[in-house]
Structure 1
């Protein structure tokens, strides 16, 4: 059996395009190129029947190193805590006040994009501090 080469992370959501744009900003990802016959995603969306518009979106790591993120519209809203979340590794290798300053600066940037700060998990004997946040649709993630 050949090894798995790639992983895609899929989000169920209400507004795929909005969520994809948020995560592009968070991670430095980009929207993939639109289908060949269209010059933009807007042109592609305009060609669809109204009920099929904004049904899905994706964002990709321009370096090709990170997983593709896929966002699909579903009819039901989010009702419970995520069983899976992303850790955005902004403070890797940093400790103490230096780490907190980097996490707080990134938190402020993401709040300006529509994210929400939930709580700070302070450092303890085993782990450094991290910030729990929510994206524009309430999905939890950590600034780590």
Structure 2
């Protein structure tokens, strides 16, 4: 049986990471519930105090095909390398110099939105295609592949 999945990020700034990953993936921050024009209106109606308004956020695929990303505030910071990470397929079907140029372009775009470039792994034939290791604004690793 197929299941819907959600990918959850523990973080310090849910709204900030939802905005970053929306930009990175072509997602959008999840719209407020029906009957509310904004999240602030919904949170006001529910009596959520201002200091709790960035406890959670979500990003969704506008086409409905990809998983929902959920961001929840936690008190502790990131302490070790992620055991699971996302690969952003930024150069599908491309090879060699053309592939790496496309990855470099995407890396620059994401750095402008708060990502950090960690290292570039150049193609290593026969199996390697090359990729760029990055982190999101809170240090979560991901690869441009």
Q: TM-score, normalised by structure 2?
A: 0.92
Distance (Å, rounded) in 2 between the aligned partners of 1:112 and 1:129:
22
Is the 8 Å Cα contact of residues 45 and 54 (structure 1) preserved in structure 2?
no
Distance (Å, rounded) in 2 between the aligned partners of 1:25 and 1:103:
16
Which segment drifts farther, 45-54 or 19-28? 45-54
Deviations 1:11-41 (A, max 9, x none): 0000000000000000110122202342112
Q: CA deviation at 1:51?
A: 3.8
Deviations 1:54-82 (A, max 9, x none): 11100010111111101011110001001
DSSP 3-state at the match of 1:106: helix
| Number of matched pairs | 142
Counterpart check, 1:114 vs 2:114? yes
Is the 8 Å Cα contact of residues 136 and 142 (structure 2) preserved in structure 1?
yes
Is the 8 Å Cα contact of residues 19 and 71 (structure 1) preserved in structure 2?
yes
Is the 8 Å Cα contact of residues 45 and 53 (structure 1) preserved in structure 2?
yes
Q: TM-score, normalised by structure 1?
A: 0.93
- 5+ long unaligned stretches in structure 1: none
Number of the residue aligned with 2:52 = 52
Number of the residue aligned with 2:14 = 16
